[in-house]
Structure 1
Amino acid sequence: MAHVLLTLSRRWALTPVALRIAVIYLAARLVTTLFFVLAGSMSTSLSRFGADAGIVDFVLGWDAQWYWLVAENGYPSELPLTDSGDVAENAWAFMPVFAILAKIVGFPFGSWGAGAFLVSVVAGYFACVALHRLLRDRIGASAAMWAVTFFTAGPLAALFQVGYAETLFLLLLFLALDAVARHRYAWLYLLIPVMAFTRPGILAFALYLGLHGILRWVRRREDPLATREIVHIVALGALATAAGFSWQLIAGVVTGDPGAYLATELAWRRHWVVGGVEGFIPFEGWIQASQFWFGQWGLPTWGGPVALILLVVAAGVALLRSPQVRAVGTDLRLWSASYLLYLLAVFFPQSSTFRLLVPLSPLWGAVAVPRSRVWRLGVLAVGLAGQWLWIYHVYALGNTFWQVP
């Protein structure tokens, strides 16, 4: 038996990386599919999806409906209003790249949903390949493969199989991070605009490029910084910044309302804030949300901001001091810090918080660094359990405010 296991282990080690990742990815997708089937059998008339919901319902559920609406009808030239006169939820909150690509891919099948599923699944696989490439030279090939396993089978793995833009954005993001790490800046002139119109977050990448440029300048004696690279970094930072604000400009031009995009995003926040929201103020969302959730849990609302400060300090310490996090490299830590700061500035923490954290997936490398097999199998087990809990609450139940993905 031991000889057979050793032979299988050697054959596995000699298998091309892309094929090994494909095997892991397909196994993870099978598990997620089984979870979906189980969730569908547990869905009731009280769920958003109704009794005996099917996988197709889940693929096309929640935000996938908005992407489908964008693909079929485009964006409204006149912002819809609520009875109170506030801007209502509308398609301007959703970027066009995924929606249009899904329509193109789904055209031969006569189904946008089929296209959305295929784009998510295929982009998810290549995102795993790109993540392995991004991590292998930092933490080793074995740990990188475990990081890919955690990524593809983790708590948010349902996103690989539904009509959301996350996996496509992650593929672009991992390629962009790898290009920066290898100083192949020319690729970013293509990647940045596509990222910007796939999913919000490109402003975090602009901040990351700025920090990357500062770090390279500080380390220019150990890592020579050519003039052309300085030009690339500055130009790309400007491009990412312009791209990050361009959607607001486009929405303003089409609707005739300069604040159309921000008003649209705030339409979702109004459901959570008593008395509504007057306008966007950076960093205000987290303070409001911390007070809201502490109130929901029966705790003093003043404790929310205190807990928020402690959370920010803990995240900063982990990025700066944790040896596991430091193992993934300074540039990925800078990206993580940039994205967390971006979320802190613009996001209102609610039920979608975990989904909004998936661009931090390179940090799975830090989780994979410990070489203990017990640790790694334990992380995998916890990830699978978390995946089922997420699918159960979001799809099988999906009937209250905190069960929105």
Structure 2
Amino acid sequence: MTAISAEVTKKESLWDKSGGWQGISAAIGILALTRVGQLLMIAWMGGANDEPKTVWDRLLIWDAGWFLRVAMDGYPEGYTYSSDGRLEANELAFFPVYPMLIRAGAALGLDPNTAALSVAWLASIGAAIALHLLGTSLYGKRAGWALVAICCSAPASVVLSMAYSESIYIALVAGMFVAAHRQVWWAAGLLGLLTALSRPTGAAAAIGLTVAALLAVRQSRVQAWKPLAAAAVALAGVPLFLGWVAYRVGEPTAWFKIQTAGWGTSFDYGSSTAEFLRSTLRSGDGWIPVSMALILLVALGAAGMALAQKPWLPLAVYGVVAMILVYGQAGFYHSKPRLLLPVLLTLLPAVVAASRARPRVAILSITAWALFGLWYGAYLVTVWPYTL
């Protein structure tokens, strides 16, 4: 059998294994149920808040404004300072893929807000498809559907409906790993580059792809230059953007200084996270901080369980590096559950368990998880006053 015919057979087997168009439609249907259900919760819970906001308004808050300004006004020329001379946050902190897509939508005649949400919602569909294919590739069709359901109803999954970059990032990183698992290196490299230009944790995705490339070379399945080129392209993404910001501002550490000035984000080897966990769990002050502390602890435990099950090495490496970046940096603690959403490693134990359980048990368990997760996310954007 030639290499080309073997690749075609591989593609066809995954398509059949995933259930073809019916399997894809089911994954999109699961996504739709979670999104519609949560939007209804937001509409219902929004009525309990004294501040009058529509559901549409709530999907366009916080980071959405930054993305929209990048899309419509472009990046600033340099640092931004307050009236008393202090360095402030500005749009150079935000990676370019999502704003570029918003700008493209606006160029087609859409209102910028409509373009921002349209891009995010379309990307959510792409994420559902990519997650289903990834779960199917690794563990089978039922795991593919479970991965979609568990990820899209997680406590921070509300951002998949908002003008945030998570939906795009998840679609790209899951698609990248599907392509790498199937040895389609040109697609893996392209998706890896776009992943790296979507969020800073794209660096972790590029490292995961590099591991996949090295495994492929070691197993001598393909010409070595193809996987290595894909990895090199992906690895270039984050340094490319950070280097461009440095050049634009005229200082090598410009991006990091803007992050620290605006959001208190800096890598402190986890001391801030440890202090948040210690102080929150000792004082028990506020159920949202306590619940977020528990989410961080549960995610660590789930990652440990996943690693004990010896998942596909590239996905495991990506998950570990991404978690180090999330737990190791200082910043707003209430953003960490959102930052953990695309890690995927923390979801694998539940996905594997659901795929092996009886269908009724799996459906009931995921439904219970979804009801809590969707309500929690709706609460965060209607009652909780702080950014995600």
TM-score, with length taken from structure 1: 0.78
User: Residue 352 of structure 1 aligns to a residue in which SS?
Assistant: helix
How far does residue 104 in structure 1 lie from its aligned partner after superposition?
2.2
Residue 337 of structure 2: aligned partner: 354
Deviations 1:55-99 (A, max 9, x none): 121121010010011112111113112466442111111112212
How far does residue 101 in structure 1 lie from its aligned partner after superposition?
1.0
Partners of 1:312 and 1:102 in 2: CA distance: 32
Residue 365 of structure 2: aligned partner: 378
8 Å contact kept, 1:96–1:198: yes
Deviations 1:211-262 (A, max 9, x none): 3344446xx4xx4344x23x23333333333321122211122122322100
Partners of 2:333 and 2:270 in 1: CA distance: 9
How far does residue 348 in structure 1 lie from its aligned partner after superposition?
4.0
Q: Are the structure 2 counterparts of residues 241 and 346 from structure 1 closer, same or farther at C-alpha, using a change threshold of 3 Å?
A: farther
How far does residue 320 in structure 1 lie from its aligned partner after superposition?
2.9
Q: Are the structure 2 counterparts of residues 39 and 257 from structure 1 closer, same or farther at C-alpha, using a change threshold of 3 Å?
A: farther
Residue 15 of structure 2: aligned partner: none
Q: Are the structure 2 counterparts of residues 31 and 342 from structure 1 closer, same or farther at C-alpha, using a change threshold of 3 Å?
A: same
Question: Which of 250, 258, 274 pairs up with 1:290?
Answer: 274
Question: Which of 370, 373, 381 pairs up with 1:395?
Answer: 381
Partners of 2:330 and 2:210 in 1: CA distance: 21
8 Å contact kept, 1:40–1:53: yes
Residue 369 of structure 1: aligned partner: 352
Partners of 1:138 and 1:35 in 2: CA distance: 33
Q: Are the structure 2 counterparts of residues 196 and 398 from structure 1 closer, same or farther at C-alpha, using a change threshold of 3 Å?
A: same
8 Å contact kept, 2:59–2:161: yes
RMSD between aligned residues: 3.0
AA of the residue aligned to 1:122 = L
AA of the residue aligned to 2:334 = S
Deviations 1:146-168 (A, max 9, x none): 22122223323322211011111
Q: Are the structure 2 counterparts of residues 313 and 32 from structure 1 closer, same or farther at C-alpha, using a change threshold of 3 Å?
A: closer
User: Residue 251 of structure 2 aligns to a residue in which SS?
Assistant: coil
8 Å contact kept, 2:127–2:167: yes
- Based on CA coordinates, which of the two structures has the bigger radius of gyration? 1
How far does residue 124 in structure 1 lie from its aligned partner after superposition?
0.7
Partners of 2:279 and 2:83 in 1: CA distance: 28
State whether structure 2 residue 58 is matched by structure 1 residue 39: no
Q: Are the structure 2 counterparts of residues 96 and 312 from structure 1 closer, same or farther at C-alpha, using a change threshold of 3 Å?
A: closer
Residue 220 of structure 2: aligned partner: 224
Q: Are the structure 2 counterparts of residues 122 and 179 from structure 1 closer, same or farther at C-alpha, using a change threshold of 3 Å?
A: same
State, as a whole percentage, how many aligned pairs show the same letter: 21
User: Residue 87 of structure 2 aligns to a residue in which SS?
Assistant: coil
How far does residue 108 in structure 1 lie from its aligned partner after superposition?
4.7
How far does residue 174 in structure 1 lie from its aligned partner after superposition?
1.1
Partners of 1:14 and 1:315 in 2: CA distance: 31
8 Å contact kept, 2:195–2:205: no
Partners of 2:178 and 2:324 in 1: CA distance: 21
